[in-house]
Amino acid sequence: MSFTTLPKIGMGTFRLKGNDARDAVKSALSLGYRHIDTAQMYDNEAAVGDGITSSGIPRREIFLTTKIWHDKLHASDLINSLQGSLDRLKTDHVDLALIHWPSPGDEVPMEEYLGALKDAQREGLAEHIGISNFTCAQMDEAKRILGDASIFTNQVEVHPFLANRKVVDHARKLGITVTGYMPLAVGKVMEDETLQRIAENHNATPAQIAIAWVASRGIVPIPSSTRPAHQKANLDALEIELSGEDIKAIDALDRGERIADPGFAPDWD
């Protein structure tokens, strides 16, 4: 089966290692997730691969994403590093290969690494290709290099405290789907009174409300959890229908609070 769009929710694996990562992936797949997100930098691709193979779910039914780290962006390194990812993931292709971060300080020209990514796609190592943590200007540049059809997603941080509106709106204008990582703001959503209040009205948890809000914006959330009960709740969050009033109240929580902001990050919008 070939995926033409991203599944509506994914299982993130950032910070999950070893058996935790393997068991979390296996459990997520048994609950009905069909989109698993990992990265070279998470150092868990082998465990994620084990979770997939031991799940009993046919590989063709699973949408698998990995990301190429910024020290592997030279054309000579990129395809080899992706091949290494495939070996660790025990698969012959990923459904989506992303550039994890734009090259810090443009050390490697975008033409070079996006060209190599396109080559990897042509060679069948990745069904789809995309970008992560790209700014509006970088999305424009990527689109110029790759043309219309190629950029499957821009994966960026999105949660109620960082709506990331400028990037989300610009991606939409360019026809690029946005994947939102850290939708639960590493657990901070649980402590927010507005989200607690809305959750009570919906007989839900603040985490579910945060995920429902991300999804209501047409963004694909990829929450991470090791506990089956939380994984199921995150999946069920897609069924929650927020009112216009709920959305307005959550929109007002945006305070530009960025959690993933390493020294090599681009100049954010």
Helices (H), 32-109: 45-53, 75-89
Q: Which pTM does this prediction carry? A: 0.97
| CATH class (in words) of the domain with range 11-184 | alpha beta
Scan for tokens 């216009």, then name that residue: 244
φ and ψ of 28, to 5 deg: -60, -45
Predicted confidence pLDDT, tens digits, the chain (269 residues)? 678 999 999 999 999 999 999 999 999 999 999 999 999 999 999 999 999 999 999 999 999 999 999 999 999 899 999 999 999 999 999 999 999 999 999 999 999 999 999 999 999 999 999 999 999 999 999 999 998 778 999 999 999 999 999 999 999 999 999 999 999 999 999 999 999 999 999 999 999 999 999 999 999 999 999 999 999 999 999 999 999 999 999 999 999 999 999 999 999 99
Per domain, the residue ranges of the chain are 11-184
Beta bridge partners of 12: 37
Hey, which residues are catalytic here? Answer: 42
Rounded to 10°, the helix 110-122/75-89 angle is 40
Task: Show Cβ contacts of residue 63 under 8 Å, excluding neighbours closer than 6 positions.
Answer: 3, 6, 7, 10, 34, 35, 36, 95, 96
